[in-house]
Structure 1
């Protein structure tokens, strides 16, 4: 049995609650045990380091140390959390050898707050990597009870999952195939388009909204023109910009859109025969009804 220290992050417990629900449904169906890190803090989504790298490292060293105290890898279902926490983990593992003074400074702050020290013994792993590398696509295929035949899925990797860490042992940073391989495993057709590995525009949204929406709109439109029935993303922040803001995006680019955007565990759960009612598919801004109707739900 696979077992992880589960770091749900903030967005999945708020604006994208359906990600939290579908992750629970998927892991339960696969027999994967999650021990939720209820005392974990927000990773900062890359903003802490704008003020202080030490702050970002200390906060996320604590998050990793919580997983280490359970002797488990830290599992996240958010690309942004994976990118931030994973990069901190890489940086501190290197600092432990090359900059022990900084390493001890971080642990000094944790000790001051009566927290377990960061040791560098756990791995930070996204749900996608857990499915591909740990559970295995062969085993996943055996669990499929409803092949998603005829469904054209366009992956949206975004940036953080692929390029925020120096080392990516599970895929190619610039020509990834992990999501597409998952699509094939559950019987869906992968759709390729240029924007699948680019930024969704979320980081720009607070200060350059129009430019952010233009970027998101270009990806949605390109995927539609390539024949996609839906986008599938491993990142809830990408989901917010591509789904929740899609009506606003459509106005900015002056083009009708309406492309459903699914979270990765929602798509896989459908192939396992899990009811859409348990996956929060009714919570999306862009209706997922066309996807469900095409699959015969």
Structure 2
């Protein structure tokens, strides 16, 4: 049995509660055990380092140390959390060997707060990588009870999953195939389009809203024109910009879109026979009913 220290992140426990629900449902169905890190802090989504790199490193060293204390890998289901915490893990492992003074400074802050020290003894792994590299697509294929035949899925990877960490052992950061391979495994058809590895626009949304929505709109339009029935993303922040804000995006680009956006565990969970009501699919702003109708579930 696979077992992970589970870092759900902030967004999945708030605005994208359906991600939290579907991750729980999927991992239970697959026999993956999650030990939730209830004392973990927000990773900062890249904002802490704007004020202090030391702050970002210390906060996330503590998050990783919580997983290390359980002797488990830290599992995320958010590409932003993966990118931030994973990069901190890389940086501190490097510092342990080449900048011991900085390494001890970080651990000094943790000791002051009576936290376990960061050791650099575990791994930070996104749910996508866990499915592909640990669980295995051959094993996943044996769990499929409802082939998603005829469903055309367009991946939206998000920036942080592919480009934040220096090493990406599970995929090619420029020409990724992990999501598409998952789609094939569950019987869906991958749709390729230019924007699948680009930024969704979320980081711009607070100060350049129109530009952010134009970016999101262009990606959604490209996917629709390529024949997609839905977008599938491993990042809840991308989901917010592509799904929750899609009505606002439509107003900015002056076009109707209406493309459903699924979280990765929702899609996989449907294929292993979990019913839609357990996956929070009714929480989406853009209705997911066209996807369910295409699959013959409604």
How many equivalent residue pairs? 297
Q: 5+ unaligned residues in a row in structure 1: which ranges?
A: none
**Could you report, residue by residue, the CA deviation over 1:117-173 in whole angstroms, capped at 9, with x for unpaired residues?**
000001000000000000000000000000000000000001100000000000000
Aligned residue number for residue 179 of structure 2: 179
Aligned residue number for residue 165 of structure 1: 165
Aligned residue number for residue 118 of structure 2: 118
Aligned residue number for residue 247 of structure 1: 247
Aligned residue number for residue 70 of structure 2: 70
Aligned residue number for residue 193 of structure 2: 193
Aligned residue number for residue 285 of structure 1: 285
Aligned residue number for residue 7 of structure 1: 7
The CA distance in 2 between the partners of 1:254 and 1:127, in whole Å, is: 36
Residue 292 (structure 1) shift = 0.2
Secondary structure at the aligned position of 1:262 is classed as strand
Secondary structure at the aligned position of 2:9 is classed as coil
Residue 110 (structure 1) shift = 0.1
The CA distance in 2 between the partners of 1:140 and 1:152, in whole Å, is: 19
- 1:247-286 pair list within 5 angstroms: 247-286=247-286
**Could you report, residue by residue, the CA deviation over 1:212-271 in whole angstroms, capped at 9, with x for unpaired residues?**
000000000000000000000000000000000000001101111000000000000000
* TM-score (normalizing by structure 1): 1.00
Aligned residue number for residue 36 of structure 1: 36
- 1:203-214 pair list within 5 angstroms: 203-214=203-214
The CA distance in 1 between the partners of 2:57 and 2:245, in whole Å, is: 31
Does residue 237 (structure 1) correspond to residue 241 (structure 2)? The answer is no
Does residue 217 (structure 1) correspond to residue 217 (structure 2)? The answer is yes
* TM-score (normalizing by structure 2): 1.00
The CA distance in 2 between the partners of 1:278 and 1:166, in whole Å, is: 36
The CA distance in 2 between the partners of 1:161 and 1:103, in whole Å, is: 25
Secondary structure at the aligned position of 1:165 is classed as coil
The CA distance in 2 between the partners of 1:11 and 1:250, in whole Å, is: 23
Residue 291 (structure 1) shift = 0.1
Aligned residue number for residue 94 of structure 1: 94
Q: 5+ unaligned residues in a row in structure 2: which ranges?
A: none
Secondary structure at the aligned position of 1:75 is classed as strand
The CA distance in 2 between the partners of 1:271 and 1:73, in whole Å, is: 26
**Could you report, residue by residue, the CA deviation over 1:155-199 in whole angstroms, capped at 9, with x for unpaired residues?**
000110000000000000000000000000000000000000000
Aligned residue number for residue 55 of structure 1: 55
The CA distance in 1 between the partners of 2:37 and 2:83, in whole Å, is: 18
